[in-house]
Amino acid sequence: MSRKIRRHAGKPIAEPVGLLSRRRFIGSTSAALLLLVSRSGQAAQTSVLAVRVWPAKDYTRITLESREPLVFTHQSVHNPERLVVDLEGVELNEVLQSLPTKITGQDPYIQLIRAGRNRPGVVRLVIELKAEVSPQVFTLRPVGEYGHRLVLDLYPTEPVDPLLALLEKISPEEAAAGGATPPHRNDDKPRKTAEAPRGKPAEPPPRREAPPAEEPRRADDDDTVSRLITVAIDPGHGGEDPGAVGAAGSFEKHVTLAVARRLKARIDAQPNMRAMLTRDADYFVPLQQRVAKARRVQADLFVSIHADAFISPTARGSSVFVLSEKGASSTAARLLAQKENAADLIGGVNIGVKDSHLARTLLDLSQTAAINDSLKVGKAVLGELGNINRLHKGEVEQASFAVLKAPDIPSILVETAFISNPEEEARLNDEAYQERMAEAIVRGLRRYFARNPPMAKSKLARLD
């Protein structure tokens, strides 16, 4: 081994060159570590890249995104109500310090958020609440364009009841005509009532009683039934899940909500129909929860609104899809279903929460009758869409869409147009086109229900 001579106490000492090199490396590394510690106060720190807040009536979501997994603890504090989250090994940067600006007075659950250094190496978030909440705190692995995410979902202790919210919007006159009893209200404010067209007397909605052989009456049933047709409208994507993005930067989640709101207004204007939205703002709703909301209001129909995308900007046209029990009707339909079913991964679902009722009902695929009805309504809507836009396919397609798996509700998924096509992207953002799209869907629904009036069902207050 070659040796290098150094002097110690005036005497030359031989030392291996390899050992000398290692000592120099260790010394330089230690210096670098000391410099890092002196600058940051700890050996390594994680930076939060982005913070997002999604307020909604159903719940408020806070998302912290980082390159590395965040190490955290959390606890609820009462009197006053607060949620405290400690982030270990995190840099208190401008992103975290911007959290207070993310909260608006319209947030139903959060009063304000404070972020500060609690002790060396720990950043504390204090979320001051307007009322007690049931928090769900969980992490998500990187997916799509997102890195690691820490998610804080703040749910009300009394969950929002979509059926109650829907019934509260029914006027006494509508309830009397339809037979539904509106829920008790604690206030005496007058309600806005629907007016019949001038010169025409108000007519009760049509009703069709099922033959006893098909729907035997139960001992606790009475003659009071609601024949208002309820349509659940599902604006695709939302919140953390933007959906497809157009060349000009349009988000599918915004387009679908705009069309859905117009569709709801047109349905509500019909004398014997009403609509509810699975989301009415920019926030994420898991696929199963969308279906559960429709079932909770005993919807007669489920309509999911989307705006398709493809790798080629020349793809164009509108489409209608329904559920398939036997596989997709085409490769394109199968790929589209896979993409839409991935929404939960992108939007972020807390897999630690299990709901046996949902698992039991939503995975029940013995729904041949519902699929047959879905094909009928899909054909009626597709025919109307062809009057305002080119059709991508001339027939209703089928695939295994998770959001269409309500076992007892006819369900369709409408791809309004290709947001990846610059021309159609511009049309999707045009209010006049959105109105024509909503009107075409309503015409299709009316055609379907004129030929297939819904069977009589139990009072809205009764749920399975």
What would the pLDDT profile of 193-217 be if each residue is shown by its tens digit?
A: 334 344 444 444 444 444 333 333 3
Task: Tell me how many degrees the CA angle 402-280-343 measures, rounded to the nearest 5.
Answer: 30
Give whole-number Cα distances, 414 to 113, 254, 378, 406, 437, in Å.
39, 15, 8, 16, 10
The continuous run of DSSP H or E covering 344 comes out as: helix 343-347
Give whole-number Cα distances, 122 to 41, 71, 92, 101, 117, in Å.
11, 10, 9, 21, 6
The continuous run of DSSP H or E covering 89 comes out as: none
| Residues 7-51: tens digit of each pLDDT | 444 444 344 434 334 344 334 434 333 333 334 444 468 999 999
Check residue 161 and give its pLDDT. 78
416-434 mean pLDDT: 96
Q: State the chain's mean pLDDT as an integer.
A: 78
% of the chain residues with pLDDT over 70: 72
Q: How many angstroms separate the CA atoms of 257 and 56, rounded?
A: 14
Is the pLDDT at 60 greater than 80? The verdict is: yes
How many CB atoms sit inside 10 A of residue 189's CB? 5
Least confident window among 82-91, 161-170, 224-233, 311-320: 161-170
Q: How many angstroms separate the CA atoms of 440 and 207, rounded?
A: 25
Provide the total of helices (H) and of strands (E) in the chain, helices listed first.
12, 16
Is the pLDDT at 331 greater than 50? The verdict is: yes
CB contact set of 333 (below 8 Å; sequence gap of 6+): 321, 324, 397, 398, 399
Check residue 232 and give its pLDDT. 97
323-331 mean pLDDT: 77
Higher pLDDT, 92 or 221: 92
Q: Comparing C-alpha atoms, which of 220, 219, 224 is closest to residue 180?
A: 224
Compute φ and ψ for 442, nearest 5 degrees.
Answer: -60, -40
* Exposed / middle / buried, residue 216 (Cβ in 10 Å: 0-12, 13-18, 19+): exposed
Q: Is 187 helix (H, G, I), strand (E, B) or coil?
A: coil
Check residue 406 and give its pLDDT. 82
Give whole-number Cα distances, 97 to 51, 92, 105, 112, 129, in Å.
10, 7, 19, 13, 19
Q: How many angstroms separate the CA atoms of 94 and 97, rounded?
A: 5
Helix axis angle, 431-451 relative to 252-268, nearest 10°? 50
Q: How many angstroms separate the CA atoms of 461 and 167, rounded?
A: 9
User: What amino acid occupies position 294?
Assistant: A
Q: How many angstroms separate the CA atoms of 322 and 30, rounded?
A: 63
212-225 mean pLDDT: 36
372-379 mean pLDDT: 94
Check residue 463 and give its pLDDT. 37
Check residue 169 and give its pLDDT. 62
| Residues 252-298: tens digit of each pLDDT | 999 999 999 999 999 999 988 999 999 999 999 999 899 999 999 99
Is the pLDDT at 324 greater than 70? The verdict is: yes
